[in-house]
Amino acid sequence: MNWILALPEIVLAVSGLLILSVGVLTKKGHAFLPSATLSIAAFVVTGFLVALSPGGVGYDGLFVVDAFARFIKLLAIVGGVVAIALSVGYTNEHRELPFEMPILVLFSTLGAMVMASSTNLMTLFVGLELSSLAIYVLCALERDRLGSAEAGLKYFILGSLASGLLLYGVSLVYGYAGTMEYAPIAAEINSAGILPIGLVIGMVFVIVGLAFKLSAVPFHMWTPDVYQGAPTPVTAYMAGAPKFAAFALILRVMAGPFGAMSPRWQLLIEVIAALSMLFGSFAAIPQRNIKRLMAYSSIGHMGYAMMGLAAASPAGTTGTLVYLTTYLIMNAGTFGVITAMRRQGREVTEISDIAGLGRTNPGLALVLAICMFSMIGVPPLAGFFGKFMVFAAAWNAGLYPLIAVGVVSAIVGAFYYLRIVKVAYFDPAAPAFDRPAPSVSFVSIAMGLATVLFLIGLGPISEAAQAAAQALIG
Amino acid sequence: MVQLVFYVFATILVGSAAMVISARNPVHSVLFLILAFFNAAGLFLVAGAEFLAMILVIVYVGAVAVLFLFVVMMLDIDFTKMREGLQRYAPIGGVVGCILFVELVMAGLHWGMSPVMPAPITGGLGQPGGAATNTGALGNLIYTHYILLFQLCGLVLLVAMIGAITLTLRDRPMGRRQIISRQHERKRADTLEMMNLPLGQGTDANGGFIRPNDSYYVTAVPGSYGVPAAEKREPGEGDAE
C-alpha cells in the first residue's frame, strides 16, 4: 500500500472538509475564529506528519516524497499558518473576512504541497490549479471593495491564461516525449540524438506558465495590482506558499525531466532572473503604497532566488532553497507590520503613514527595520545568507554577468528599503497606529526574532536544503 | 440487423437535428435536441462504445439539454427577432457548409492509418492480460491508476463551489425567512380577534349584496374609485363570446 505516502495531504484535505462543516454549522458571524484556530491546528498536525513521512514514489508514479518535497511542504505550511494568524488580527468591526478564508488558505496550501510532490506533469497541473483557484477567490474576498474585486478578476484572467500556456506546453511535451512522467521524459531526452523542436517549445511554455505564478519578469504585470488590492493577510500568503510551490515545480521540472537540456534553458532562466532583479528594484523606487512596494520587492526577490536555479548545480539549488526560507521569514515579519498599520480600525497602507513609527511604536518600527535590513542583505540578518549562497553558486557556475546585474539591483534595492527605515525613524511623526491585535504582534515579533537569530538555525536549515538538493539532483 | 438499427438511429438523428434548427417553438427545438442526443447515444452503442453512449446521455441530456431548456423557458428571448437575418446569411452559411462537406468527403476518401503509428492496444487498458470493456478499462485507469488525480480534481471543484458561494451569497437583512417553529407555535388567538357586532352595522346595500363600508366592491359603480373611465369595459362588449 503506498497511499500512506500522501498521508499529510489526506489529513489536511479531510480536516479542511471537517472545518468547512464546523464553519457552516456555527452561528453566523462567530465562525471565523473557530475555523482559523482549527485550520492552524490542522496545519500543525500536517507539519508533523510531513516531517515524519516516509520517502518513496507512489500512486503509479504520480506522487513522490523525498527530502526536497518535505522541505518545500514545511515552508508552505509555515506560510499558511502565518497568513491565517495575520487574518485573525485583521478582522475587526470594520473589516471582516468570511470563515471560508482559512479553509481556502488550507486548500491552497494543499495544492502547493501536491505541487511539491509531483513526479508527473498531470499532478503538477492539478496541484497548481487547486492552489491558484483558491487564491483567485481569496483575492476577491472583500468583494465590496473595488480594489479587492479588481485584484481577484485580474489575477483570475491572467492566471487562467498562464494555466492555458502551461497546459499547452505540457501537451507538446507529451506529444513529443510520449509520456508525462518525469523520469521517462528525461530518459526520452537523453536517448534522443537531436531534440525535437516541439519538445523545446513545450518546455519553454512550461517555464512561462510557472514564471507567471512566480511573478517573474516579463510575466509580472498582475503582481502590483493584485498585491495592493487583495486583503493584507492574503497578500502575505501569496508572497509565501504559492511562490515556494511554483519554485518547487520549476526546480523539479528543470532538474528532473529537462535536466539533460540544461544548456538550452539556462540562458532563458538567466534572462528572466536578471530582468526580475532589475525591474523589481527600479520600479519599486517611485511607489507610495507599501503593499505595492512589497509586490515589486517580491518580483526582485524571485529574481535572486532564480539565480541559484540558473546555476544548475546542487549548490545553486541549496542556495535557492535557503533564499526562499529567509524570504518567507522576513516577508512574514514585514506583512505582520503592514497588517498592524491601522488607525481607528481602518487600514492605512501608504508609506507616508509609517512616518515616525520609531517614536509612536518602537517595537513595530524595530521589526520593520530588521526586515528591511534583512531584505537588503545586511549580515548577520537572515537575508544575507540567502543572497550569499545564491551569489556564491552563480560565481562557481561562472555566471558573471548575472552577478553584476544582481549586485547593481541589490544596491538600487537598498535605496528603497532604507527609505522606509528613514521614513519610520526620521520623518515627523504621523498619528499613532492602533494597538495591534495579539496574533499580529506575535507574528511580527516571532519573525523579527527569527530574522535576527537566523544564524543559529542556519546549520540545520542549510543541511536540510542540501539534502533536498541532493534528493532532487542525485 | 445491425445495419437496420444503424439506419433507424441515423435517420431519426438527422431528422431531429434538422428539426432543432427549423422548429418554430424554441422549447420544441430543445426537445428535438434531446431526441438527437439519445439517437447519437444509440449510434455509439451500435459502434460498441458503450461508455461514450452513457456519458452522452448523462452529460448532454441530463445536464446540458436540461440547462438549455431552463434558459429557453426562463429567459425572455425574442426568437423571431433572432431569425430575421436568415435570408441574408443563408448564402454564406451554404458556402461554409459546402466547403465543410467537400473537406469531409476528401478526408473520408483518403482516410488511413499512418505506418509509424503503433498498433492499437487490444485487450484491457492498463490491465495485465484479459480483455476488458471500455467502461472497465476506463474505470481501472481513473479510479485505480489515477485515483490521486481524480480526488484532487474533486477538491478543485469543491474549492470552486466554496468560492462561488463565498463571493456571491449575501446575507440580506431585509429577506423574509421562514422559521418553521415559530409558524407552528402560532395560535389562533394570536392573530384572530372575535368581535361581536350588531347585525347590519357598518354595511351598505350595494347591487343586491350587503358589503362592508369602504370595501373594494363598493367601487363597482363605474368611475367611482380612481379607475380611469377609458379602461372601463363597456357593458355588453364581448359578452357574446
What proportion of chain B, given as a percentage, has pLDDT over 70? Answer: 74
Per-residue burial over B198-213, b = 16 or more CB atoms within 10 Å of its CB, e = otherwise = eeeeeeeebeeeeeee
B141 shares a domain with B73:
no
For testing contact with chain B, the best of A10, A100, A176 (most B CBs within 10 A): A100
Q: Which amino acid is at A348?
A: V
Q: How far apart are CA A290 and CA A296, in angstroms?
A: 10
Q: In the structure grid, which three cell numbers stand for residue A53, read together? A: 513521512
Residue B104 lies in a domain: no
Interchain contact, B145 vs A60, CB within 8 Å: yes
Q: How many domains does chain B have?
A: 2
- B87 CA to centre of own chain: 29
Q: Which residues of A, range 145-204, sit inside 8 Å of B by Cβ?
A: 152
Q: In the structure grid, which three cell numbers stand for residue A185, read together? A: 521524459
Instruction: Name the residue facing B152 among A104, A130, A152 (closest C-beta).
Output: A130
Q: How far apart are CA A111 and CA A117, in angstroms?
A: 10
pLDDT above 80: residue B222: no
Of the given ranges (A40-49, A75-84, B37-46, B180-189), which has the lowest mean pLDDT?
Answer: B180-189
Q: What is the pLDDT of residue A115?
A: 92
Interchain contact, B166 vs A137, CB within 8 Å: yes
Convert the pLDDT of each residue in B1-30 to its tens digit.
Answer: 888 999 999 999 999 999 998 888 888 888
B21-27 LR contacts (CB < 8 Å, sep 24+): B26/B72, B26/B77, B26/B79, B27/B69, B27/B72, B27/B73
Query: Mean pLDDT across chain B, nearest whole number?
Result: 79
Q: Which amino acid is at A111?
A: G
Q: Which residues contact A194 (CB under 8 A, 6 or more apart)?
A: none
Residues of A in contact with B163 (CB under 8 A): 104, 133-134, 136-137
The residue of chain A nearest to residue B159, with distances taken between CA atoms, is A134
For testing contact with chain B, the best of A64, A126, A135 (most B CBs within 10 A): A126
Q: What is the pLDDT of residue B241?
A: 41
Q: What is the pLDDT of residue B132?
A: 66
Contact A203, A173 (CB under 8 A): yes
Interchain contact, A104 vs B171, CB within 8 Å: no
Interchain contact, B148 vs A110, CB within 8 Å: no
Interchain contact, A126 vs B152, CB within 8 Å: yes
Of B58, B148, B226, B113, the closest CA to residue A124 belongs to: B148
Residue B30 lies in a domain: yes
Contact A172, A253 (CB under 8 A): no
Q: Among the three residues B82, B109, B126, which one is the final residue of a domain in this structure?
A: B82
Q: For residue A181, give the DSSP letter.
A: B
Convert the pLDDT of each residue in B111-167 to its tens digit.
Answer: 877 777 776 655 545 444 455 677 888 888 888 889 999 999 999 999 999 999 998
Residue B147 lies in a domain: yes
Residue B150 lies in a domain: yes
Q: What is the pLDDT of residue B140?
A: 84
Range of the domain at B151: 134-164
Place of cell 492509418: B113
Q: What is the pLDDT of residue A94?
A: 67
Residue B71 lies in a domain: yes
Q: How far apart are CA A287 and CA A294, in angstroms?
A: 10
Q: Among the three residues B18, B47, B82, which one is the final residue of a domain in this structure?
A: B82
Convert the pLDDT of each residue in A419-467 to its tens digit.
Answer: 999 999 998 888 888 888 888 888 899 998 888 888 888 888 888 888 8
For testing contact with chain B, the best of A129, A142, A163, A179 (most B CBs within 10 A): A129
Radius of gyration of chain A (CA): 21
Convert the pLDDT of each residue in B100-123 to its tens digit.
Answer: 999 999 998 888 777 777 766 555
Residue B26 lies in a domain: yes
Residue B74 lies in a domain: yes
Q: Which residues of chain A have pLDDT under 50?
A: none
Instruction: Name the residue facing B167 among A63, A134, A143 (closest C-beta).
Output: A143
Residues of B in contact with A122 (CB under 8 A): 146, 149
ipTM: 0.91
Residue B53 lies in a domain: yes
Residues of B in contact with A114 (CB under 8 A): 152
Contact A450, A336 (CB under 8 A): no
Q: How far apart are CA A33 and CA A21, in angstroms?
A: 14
